[in-house]
Structure 1
Amino acid sequence: MKQSIRHQKIVELVKLQGYISTDELVTLLNVSPQTIRRDLNELAENNLIRRHHGGAASPSSAENSDYSERKLFFSLEKNHIAQAVSRLIPNGSSLFIDIGTTSEAVANALLGHQNLRIVTNNLNAAHILMKNDTFKITVAGGSLRQDGGIIGEATVNFISQFRLDYGILGISSIDLDGSLLDYDYHEVQVKRAIMESSRETVLVTDHSKFSRQAIVKLASVTDVDYLFTDQEPPKSIMELIHNSSVELRVCK
């Protein structure tokens, strides 16, 4: 395969998935690891990708991917995570469901439950959940984004009035020092309110978030009660989890 064609395919895969590992590229493109590493270095120099140890990600760290693209990223992995989270939540529980495509996958996985009381700032999740007529669903007020998320000071104030059993929380990035990061300052304020108003915080994230970069800090991974993901996190994060009370669940 010509180098120019490989480069085009790599850029397309990174755009579609958000992150792709060197091993995956070696298998998909049928070339040596050394060739892929050279390709990634060259693409990174031209700002077509962002180089990571072990793979490549989208070059932008200042804004999130388009919602329609994010729904496609690691959809199978998100469904595995969602099914595992649904097994944690008992019938009759109360919970927040946050903005994000993984949170929406959790909403879908919860449809077999009974008598859940749900507060959400995610219109897409609310639309999914309303299929179950035993659920009591409350939607937070605030400013509506194009992806169906509701954010703003009114959203924070509304959520802060509740005390619920679980907070289902997504995140855009987890740094190697354990920092939970997102792109939107206003969204982070809502996430923080959900954490403060939940008896237990459940963080749901696929493995690509361990290699992305965002700019607004929410908290540390050690501030959540559960971390549901589809692959074991990097070593530095595993050490943080090992020395904390966080319960890690790797969903395959």
Structure 2
Amino acid sequence: MKTNPRQLTLLSVVQDKGAVTVEQLAETLGVTLQTVRRDVQRLADEGLLARFHGGVRVPSSTVENIAHQQRESLHAEGKQRIARCIADAVPNDCSLILNIGTTTEAIARALLKHTGLRVITNNLNVASILSANPRSEVIVVGGVVRGLDQGIVGEAAVDFIRQFKVDIALIGISGIEADGTLRDYDYREVKVSQTIMSHAREVWLAADASKFNRPAMVEVARLSQIDRLFTDAEPPEPFPALLTEAQVRLDVAR
């Protein structure tokens, strides 16, 4: 299809944020809701956008995540803000588990000045980052190393994590759907994440704005199973009500 400059800008906004409401697009582009809806319909018909109730998101597969290197550059500034916000909330001298993901890797970098942390992780990238901090201890989970992102998965990883009970689980996620489910792609990774959540006194979820309304195949948990959500923008509808109902504390990294 031939796109006009406004539609190209619309695509750029959605790709930058991952998911955005029609109202936010109209305000950003300085056009009417009717104009945005026409553009969105045309772009969605061409497969360039995926629609959900009240907004649009980047199209994605429900069975396969995008490559780790691409995820590192996507929404990097928002992930850094989330990471700094979490680092401000994490006290020194506590125990943590960090799971797989580029957001948890950003959190690891933000924790480098902390002291007295004991960090368990199934993410070799996180372990490599935090091992540069001589004032904290890193414990690496055993299991199968997934070459595409250096994540450790499988039953051995689950059994290893069951030995511990930590103060805070810091987890990333691939998608949060409008029914309140947290979702990911690899069922082996999901089993590890579920074990991490069940062996922590508090569960903190780090998710940039692109994760809202992003589909993935396997259910990890529900919003009611987390204590705090750290994100980089106000969640779109229907998530504010879902978070209130689930009694999840929302921290928006401005």
Q: TM-score, normalised by structure 1?
A: 0.88
Q: Could you tell me which residue of structure 1 aligns to residue 211 of structure 2?
A: 209
2:47 paired with 1:47: yes
Q: CA RMSD in A?
A: 2.4
Q: Could you tell me which residue of structure 1 aligns to residue 128 of structure 2?
A: 127
Contact 2:19 2:212 in 1 (8 A): no
Change in Cα spacing, 1:208 to 1:114, as seen in structure 2 (3 Å) is same
2:190 paired with 1:188: yes
- The letter of the residue matching 1:74 is H
Structural mapping, 1:1-252, within 5 Å: 3=3, 18-19=18-19, 22=22, 33-52=33-52, 53-145=54-146, 146-252=148-254
The C-alpha deviation readout for 1:126-147, integer Å capped at 9, x for no partner, is 1111111111111112121211
DSSP-derived class of the 2:127 partner: helix
Q: TM-score, normalised by structure 2?
A: 0.88
Change in Cα spacing, 1:13 to 1:250, as seen in structure 2 (3 Å) is closer
Distance (Å, rounded) in 2 between the aligned partners of 1:99 and 1:238:
26
Contact 1:95 1:119 in 2 (8 A): yes
The C-alpha deviation readout for 1:200-238, integer Å capped at 9, x for no partner, is 111111111112111111111111111111222234332
Distance (Å, rounded) in 2 between the aligned partners of 1:36 and 1:68:
32
Deviation of 1:245 (Å)? 3.5
The total of aligned residue pairs comes to 251
Distance (Å, rounded) in 1 between the aligned partners of 2:66 and 2:51:
17
Distance (Å, rounded) in 1 between the aligned partners of 2:189 and 2:13:
28
The C-alpha deviation readout for 1:113-161, integer Å capped at 9, x for no partner, is 0011010011111111111111111111212121111111111111111
DSSP-derived class of the 2:189 partner: helix
Change in Cα spacing, 1:5 to 1:209, as seen in structure 2 (3 Å) is same
DSSP-derived class of the 1:131 partner: coil
Change in Cα spacing, 1:33 to 1:110, as seen in structure 2 (3 Å) is same
Contact 1:179 1:217 in 2 (8 A): yes
Distance (Å, rounded) in 2 between the aligned partners of 1:12 and 1:68:
20
